[in-house]
Structure 1
Amino acid sequence: MQTHRTRWLALPLLMLSMQVLADSGPGAPSGDGEPILDLRYRYENIDSGSTPHGAEAHTLRTRLGYRTGEWNGWSALVEIDDVARLGGRYNDTRNGRTDHAVVADPDGAGVNQALLRYGADHGEVTLGRQRINLDNQRFIGGSGWRQNEQTYDGAMLRFTPTGKLTLGYAWIAQVNTVFGPDDGPYATAANRADSGGDSHLLHLRYALAPWLAATAYQYRLDLEDLAVSATAPAGSLSGNTTGLRVDGALDRFDYVLEYARQDERGRTPWTLDGRYHLVELGYRLGPVQFKAGQEVLGGADGPGNRAFQAPLATKHQFQGWADMFGTTPADGIDDRYLGAVAALAGGTLQAWYHDFRAERGGASYGTELDLSYAHAVPGVDGLGGLLKYAHYDSDNPALTADTRKVWLQLQYIY
């Protein structure tokens, strides 16, 4: 019912945006509107001991839309996504192929964004289905790596009273997850296409100087349809996450320090008391950026998995590209990592190494090596290629399995 209700709510936004586009008289939009065309083909191959068969997937994401010019501070955007399965054998979480590894890119078409935005000198308001990416997307993001992006239905307010201070507030009525656009008979509480609720995001950032900025936040998530696992009670991913992040850059160095606590929200079925911390240091040497860090999501006692979770994060950016820990294990996770990003032959090369351990007890989960190279395709403006590899070596077969993933991607953006 949530999906159908949101589509009805989006209709007035679509109609109004079309009216703005059609207005050619006095007061018409200033500046030109922009069409949106984004084509992304991806080949994904998985070899994993977690299922009888691996996976091989050919998918194409087609994104079409239009962004209007501005009219008295108002603008509108409409964006439609279609994910097509071109071939291969894999479990897309909707086709019932549970003997194959998961490639979480179900096929289908839907509204990715449909919004109105009003901007003024010291802030803006956005209403409708929209993209929300906060800070490094560790807690709130769009999961843009997956073919079906995660977007949010609600309202977002940004207020910038000075050049150094930014205040943000968002109300979210529904989360449209990467598993959409539809549920189908194989959906579970752990992979719903959408989740209704009454969530509130509070965010304050003060940039004192290039070497010091502080961000305070509280994310009050009410995810009434989602659960930490297929058998856990609905709402077990709801909760309050309150934290402080400090970051900056000085000469060749940059750093991040972050701490957060997670507790239960009113309708959360479990008592929660999780901790999170991040320590990261970077150093730039010529065309190479080195980074090393430790990220810890704490475990917890009690029946069920009550560890610190990040249900709305862009998870592929964290804890390795093999995506072995999309859900934090009950004993928590301690990820110690190092890597480098380098400009090479007109493209970008990345290499990362992760050592994963339980936050409680310190037992080893395993290690992972990640490599990627991205480069624009010569002779075609807007076309880029990506080759990517992840190799996870498990030390805990009861929890994870040895996994290798390879991706080849071509993306054209007009």
Structure 2
Amino acid sequence: MKKLFHLFIMAWMVFFFAGESLYAQSVTLSGEIRPRYEFRHGYKTIFPDNHKAANFISQRTRLNFLYGNKYFKFGLVLQDIRVWGDVPQLNTTDVNGLSVHEAWGEVIFNQKLSLKLGRQEISYDDQRIFGNVGWTQQARSHDAAIIRYRPDKTTKIDVGIAYNADKASLYKTDYTVNNYRALQYIWYHGQFKKVGLSLLLLNNGMPYSGTVKQKVVYSQTLGGRVTYNNKALKFNSAFYYQGGKNKSNRSLSAMYFTVNTSYTLPTKFTFGLGGEYLSGTSSENRALNNTDNSFKPLYGTNHKFNGWMDYFYAGSYMNSNGLIDINMPLSQKINQFTFKLIPHYFIAAAKVAVKQSDGTWKAYKSDMGMEIDFAANYALSKNMTITAGYSQMLTTETLQVLKGGNYKNSNNWAWLMVTFKPTFFSKK
């Protein structure tokens, strides 16, 4: 890690000073250290009997380098992800080691058109389909090529493609990484004064090994999002449809719909009301391997949605009975403090049932419980924040059928996070 760091600094200095007199450029060197303590007692799944809560501290450390001139841009983000104590004091190697979160170059053809190549974050709109998953210490990035077109200040069009392989080889080999094999998408956003409109078409190719030779099966996600922003009053709604084949080569037909609104008072108190519908597959249809009706928010920042305890799409709930989430976000800003309180009520979108020994199916209520999330943030400066949170999940027997554990147990989660984001150098 030390050698890579020294090499990185030397390369930056050479690159900066050698080209300084040639043309206008911008250079930024920044960092991030983010330790986070967590208490987990029923996080992601219902707490089972005869177990004790987990306590640990994880940490993300990043070094960010950005360079740009009128011909191209360059970005490099190195990161180290660790849990305090995962290596001994006299350490020679890390468990995870230093990794490259982003490494990309962007060719600037003109003021309207560019091509971005390499390892990069892909994030659009509210991050429901594409997001960087910033809450997780490792976050998400893609190996992709993106054509970026900006014809004017109110219009954005991106066309992205990706093709993944395990390694450089002499002939075609199976792809065994838990990832897509190929991906293509087009995204549009237009801003019409107070109204914003986004459209997305995504063709997602997953490796399928259920045949003699591995093949790629494709699903399509098509939809859009509308926003309205009148300062105090905000509104957004989105709809997506998924078709094609899922990664098990079953027919896929699913949909997503959401409506959310909020209003901010002069006292900086904001109250909102929202709902999400993600279609699901009934227990009987899943057992029969019928059409998959479960909507999958493929590469989104799922921690942001459906409760911070990540019971649903941030885990193993993709091929599921779906979800209806009714929520009421509340927030208050007081000087450097921000407080948030978000209650959720969860309902299964498709029938939940368990097959009995006599071949019949026992149905369960659709009510899956409630979650209450609370967080407080204090900004000491623009480069340092302290954030704490507490969440409580009130589960039901229906959720126990889907997730396991004992629904009568208490399920809660608490965390404390300190974020340092210094800018070491910036020149424009």
One fold, TM greater than 0.5? yes
Q: Which residue of the partner structure matches residue 269 of structure 2?
A: 288
User: C-alpha distance in 2, partners of 1:331/1:384?
Assistant: 38
Q: 1:386 corresponds to which residue? A: 387
Checking the alignment, whether the CA contact within 8 Å between 1:152 and 1:175 is kept in structure 2 is: no
Distance change (3 Å), C-alpha of 1:321 and 1:26: closer
Bigger mean CA offset, 212-221 vs 250-259: 250-259
Distance 2:159 2:346 in 1: 34
Letter in 2 for 1:259: F
Q: Secondary structure at the match of 1:21?
A: helix
1:177-215 per-residue CA deviation (whole Å, 9 max, x = no partner) reads xxxxxxxxxxxx9xx9752511012111222221x2221
Structure 2 distance, partners of 1:364, 1:245, is: 28
> Which residue pairs with 1:250 in the alignment?
230
1:376 counterpart = 2:376? no
Question: What is the CA–CA distance in structure 2 between the aligned matches of 1:37 and 1:194, rounded to whole Å?
Answer: 29
1:278 and 2:278 correspond:
no
Aligned CA distance change for structure 1 residues 194 and 162 (closer, same or farther; 3 Å): same
Identity over the aligned pairs, expressed in percent? 19
Residue in structure 2 matched with residue 207 of structure 1 by the alignment:
191
Q: Residues 124 and 157 of structure 1 are in contact (CA less than 8 Å); yes or no, is this contact kept in structure 2?
A: yes
Question: CA 1:392 to 1:243, structure 2 compared with 1: closer, same or farther past 3 Å?
Answer: same
| Residue 256 of structure 1, CA deviation | 1.0
Match of 1:162 in 2: 152
- The aligned amino acid for 1:60 is Q
1:399 aligns with one of 402, 421, 425: 402
Alignment equivalent of 1:410, drawn from 407, 412, 418: 418
Whether contact under 8 Å (1:195, 1:226) holds in the other structure is no
Kept in 1: contact 2:217–2:247 (CA 8 A): no
4+ residue segments displaced more than 6 Å: 234-237
In the TM superposition, residue 258 of structure 1 has moved relative to its aligned partner by 1.2
Distance in 1 of aligned mates of 2:402 and 2:143: 35
- Change in Cα spacing, 1:55 to 1:319, as seen in structure 2 (3 Å) is same
Distance 1:319-1:26 versus aligned 2 partners, 3 A rule: closer
Cα deviation for residue 172 of structure 1 reads 2.4
Contact preservation (8 Å) 1:60, 1:85 = yes
Q: Which residue of 1 aligns with 2:72?
A: 74
Corresponding residue for 2:133?
143
Q: What aligned pairs does 1:179-218 form with structure 2 within 5 A after superposition?
A: 195-210=179-194, 212-218=195-201
Contact 2:377 2:386 (C-alpha < 8 Å) held by counterparts: yes
Q: Deviations over 1:198-249 (max 9, x none)?
A: 1012111222221x2221111111233899xxxxxx9999621111211112
User: SS state of the match for residue 119, structure 2?
Assistant: strand
Partner SS for 2:127: coil
- SS of 2:25's partner is coil
The equivalent of 1:94 in structure 2 is none
Q: Against the structure 1 CA distance between its residues 108 and 319, is the aligned structure 2 distance closer, same or farther, given a 3 Å change threshold?
A: farther
Instruction: Give 3-state SS (helix, strand or coil) of 2:303's partner.
Output: helix
Q: Distance in 1 between matches of 2:336 and 2:165?
A: 38
Residue 58 of structure 1: aligned partner: 57
Name the SS for the 1:222 alignment partner. strand
Task: Give the number of the structure with larger relative contact order, counting CA–CA contacts within 8 Å between residues 6 or more apart.
Answer: 2
Paired amino acid for 1:344: I
Matched letter for residue 215 of structure 1: S
CA distance in 2, matches of 1:337, 1:387: 21
Q: Which residue of 2 aligns with 1:308?
A: 295
Q: 1:166 to 1:226 in 2, by over 3 A?
A: farther
Structure 1 CA distance for aligned equivalents of residues 77 and 417 of structure 2? 22
5+ residue gaps, structure 2: 1-7, 87-94, 167-174, 352-364, 423-428
Q: Does 235-244 or 54-63 show the bigger shift?
A: 235-244
Give deviations 1:233-270, integer Å, cap 9, x for gaps: x9999621111211112353211121111112497611
- 1:311-365 CA-partner distances (Å, limit 9, x unpaired): 3110100000000002246221000000112202421111101000011247101
RMSD of aligned residue pairs (Cα, Å): 3.1
**AA at the equivalent of 2:132:** G
Mapped contact 2:181–2:216 kept (Cα < 8 A):
no
Residues 348 and 367, structure 2, Cα contact 8 Å, conserved in 1: yes
Larger CA Rg, structure 1 vs 2: 2
Matches within 5 A, 1:216-231: 216-224=199-207
Secondary structure in 1 aligned to 2:401? coil
1:112 aligns with 2:93: no
Cα deviations across residues 139-194 of structure 1 (Å, max 9, x unaligned)? 11111100001001011222121222221111123599xxxxxxxxxxxx9xx975
Taking structure 2 as the reference length, the TM-score comes to 0.76
- Tell whether the 8 Å contact from 2:208 to 2:247 is kept in structure 1 after alignment: no
Where 1:224 maps in the other structure, the secondary structure is strand
Which stretch shows the higher mean deviation, 301-310 or 148-157? Answer: 301-310
Gapped regions of structure 1 (runs ≥ 5): 1-13, 89-105, 177-188, 228-233
Residues 393 and 28 of structure 1: is their aligned pair in 2 closer, same or farther, counting only changes over 3 Å? farther
- Answer with 385-394 or 118-127: which moved more: 118-127
- Measured at CA, do residues 53 and 174 of structure 1 come closer, stay the same or move farther in structure 2, by a change above 3 Å? farther
TM-score where L is the length of structure 1: 0.78
Name the aligned partner's letter for residue 274 of structure 1: A
